[in-house]
Amino acid sequence: MTDPTTDDAGIARRALPLLDLTNLADICTTSHIEALCRDARAGSVAAVCVWPQFVGEAARALKGTPIRVATVVNFPAGGEDIERAVEDAAEAISDGAHEIDLVLPYRAILRGDAETARGLVEAVRDVCHKTCLKVILETGALGEPERIDEASRLAIEAGADFLKTSTGKSPVSATPQAAEAMLRAIRAHGGGRRVGLKVSGGLRSVADAATYLALADRVMGSDWAEPATFRLGASSLYGELTAAVARAS
């Protein structure tokens, strides 16, 4: 009997329901969103993540399914305009977004201004209410594990439901080292509240998915990684996962 923790098809079957199928390309059209939602339905993924202007379209296309619609605010630069971020989040929720991916103002963290970063997360948290708030740390810019831990703790204390590694637009995206630092921060600072992790940026192969699933199992326990607590954000991964399942059929 094959081991689902090591064989490609087993890993793919486990990873597909955790996938946030994403199109945040600079050029994105209605036809791209239609194709994204078709793939999301076919793969029974956790969510799609789209630009704010496509939230309504994605919500209509996925109506009647459990697939969630996520969008981004202050993305990818991590701007510090609280009023704009709050307005954008509120509009996206009104359009049908179930999840908001907010970029932590990581430049504020880098200059030692934690309060600016905290204030923006708290303000957006206030408008999210029942909406899942995922806070993107841009770990490649933060660099050191100690700084990633600091940013993780700040985001958790400010009300993040998920921590997310990166925008996917930076020179350094997700790394196992950053993901481990974030998982350990979730375990240490969650305070009994369920906080998830989304690994995003640079995932392209079944082996990449396996690396992060094994990491989550090791740090958090083998029953922790489920759609409510763990996501993989990568459109390029979808084809690899579905091909691995097809090869085993």
Give the pairing of strands 196-200 and 132-136. Answer: unpaired
Euclidean distance between CA atoms 145 and 159, whole angstroms: 21
Question: CA-CA distance, 238 to 20, in Å (whole number)?
Answer: 9
For the chain, the maximum distance between any two Cα atoms, rounded to a whole number of angstroms, is 56
| List 20, 88, 198, 208, catalytic entry | 198
Active-site residue 164, yes or no? yes
d(CA 98, CA 68): 6
- Annotated catalytic residue: which of 88, 101, 161, 208? 101
80: exposed, middle or buried (Cβ count in 10 Å: 0-12, 13-18, 19+): middle
User: CA 106, 110, 113 angle in degrees (round to 5)?
Assistant: 85
- Considering 20, 88, 164, 208, which one is annotated as catalytic? 164
DSSP conformational letter for 53: G
101 catalytic per annotation = yes
Residues annotated as part of the active site: 101, 164, 198
